[in-house]
Amino acid sequence: MNKNILEVRNLVKHFEVSKSVFSRNKKIVKAVDGISFDIKAGETLGLVGQSGCGKTTTARSLCLLDPKTSGSVNFFNPDSKNMESIDNIDEDGIRIFRRNMQMIFQDPYESLNPRWTIKDIIKEPLDIHNIGSLSEREDAIVEILRTVGLTPPENYLSRYPHEISGGQRQRVSIARTLVMKPKFVVCDEPTSMLDVSIRISIMDLMLNLAKELEVSYLYITHDLAVARYMCNRIAVMFNGKIVEIGETEELLQNPVHPYTKRLISSIPIPDPTYKRERYKVNFDELDNIISKNPNEKMVDIGGGHLVATHDTKDFLIES
């Protein structure tokens, strides 16, 4: 059994939005409203949901880009071999955390500084953390470029992002992310802006690297089909809450929560002979589970397949 590399408990992120320029009343938007999950070493967890459901906010909170409102995040410190909370560690701890956690962004055109060469872009993390001598850094850059399939590496070192294609840029992003050999990478829809024929090669690259470098991913996507290809487990998010979480195939074959069901039934199937059935929302199955476990927020229906109960029902009223 693999050890956990990240444990998130009751993560909450609220934004204050003032209603108008003149009003003093602040409205609170609950972007992430108490979510919990674990990520094991070498595992890929998919975070799936519609835009605005809070998946990107979760990612940004985990990466310390935006401070979280409440909740706890523990990570596995490879130096001390212990789980440590990111809230009560010192500067050094934060440094170790940052070295072991990276993020890949959606937009390959915006995620690389347009005025830097590929070499400088990949070298930056090494410079920041002062890893290795200058020549070791150069070697590491050439090595990682080869790993992500940009060969021969010498051809890419002194080029600028706008001189290479979208797929190649995303490879550079991955190279930059993995050059410090992090243990955990947050991927925010890294392939959604790429063309179909290139998308798979990037996803395969990420899967291979996960095995090779023993990286865990939190893979954020709106596309269940992509999540199925990439992830060991999938968490479905809605309105800032995780409504269902489970092993990929189990979740897709036996969804319980009405939202998951509806999401699955909305995915077009690349087979013209297949006729999709439209799903009509009903709460029978969920109500049945709630009546058996009236006091639990998340109910385990077997094999780590968790379903959220009461507080996710209200979505029917909205849509």
Distances (CA, A) of 76 to 11, 12, 20: 18, 21, 43
Determine if 99 is a binding residue for other proteins (CB under 8 A): yes
Distance of closest approach, residue 36 Cβ to other proteins, in angstroms: 22
Determine if 65 is a binding residue for other proteins (CB under 8 A): yes
Determine if 167 is a binding residue for other proteins (CB under 8 A): yes
Nearest to 132 by CA among 160, 161, 99: 99
User: How big is the site for other proteins, counted in residues (CB under 8 A)?
Assistant: 70
Determine if 77 is a binding residue for other proteins (CB under 8 A): no
Determine if 111 is a binding residue for other proteins (CB under 8 A): yes
If the CB atoms of residues 69 and 117 are measured against other proteins, the closer one turns out to be: 117
Which of positions 25-64 make contact with other proteins (CB under 8 A)? Answer: 50-51, 60, 63-64
Distance of closest approach, residue 206 Cβ to other proteins, in angstroms: 12
State which of residues 27, 129, 146, 292 lies at the interface with other proteins (CB under 8 A).
129
Determine if 98 is a binding residue for other proteins (CB under 8 A): yes
Which of positions 240-259 make contact with other proteins (CB under 8 A)? Answer: 249, 252
Which of positions 168-227 make contact with other proteins (CB under 8 A)? Answer: 168, 176, 180, 195-201, 203-204, 222-226
Place of tokens 């179909």: 196
Distance of closest approach, residue 281 Cβ to other proteins, in angstroms: 11
Determine if 134 is a binding residue for other proteins (CB under 8 A): no
If the CB atoms of residues 34 and 182 are measured against other proteins, the closer one turns out to be: 182
Determine if 265 is a binding residue for other proteins (CB under 8 A): yes
Which residue ranges make up the site for other proteins (CB under 8 A)? 50-51, 60, 63-65, 94-95, 98-99, 101-103, 105-107, 110-115, 117, 121, 124-125, 128-129, 157-160, 165, 167-168, 176, 180, 195-201, 203-204, 222-226, 228-229, 249, 252, 262-274, 276, 278
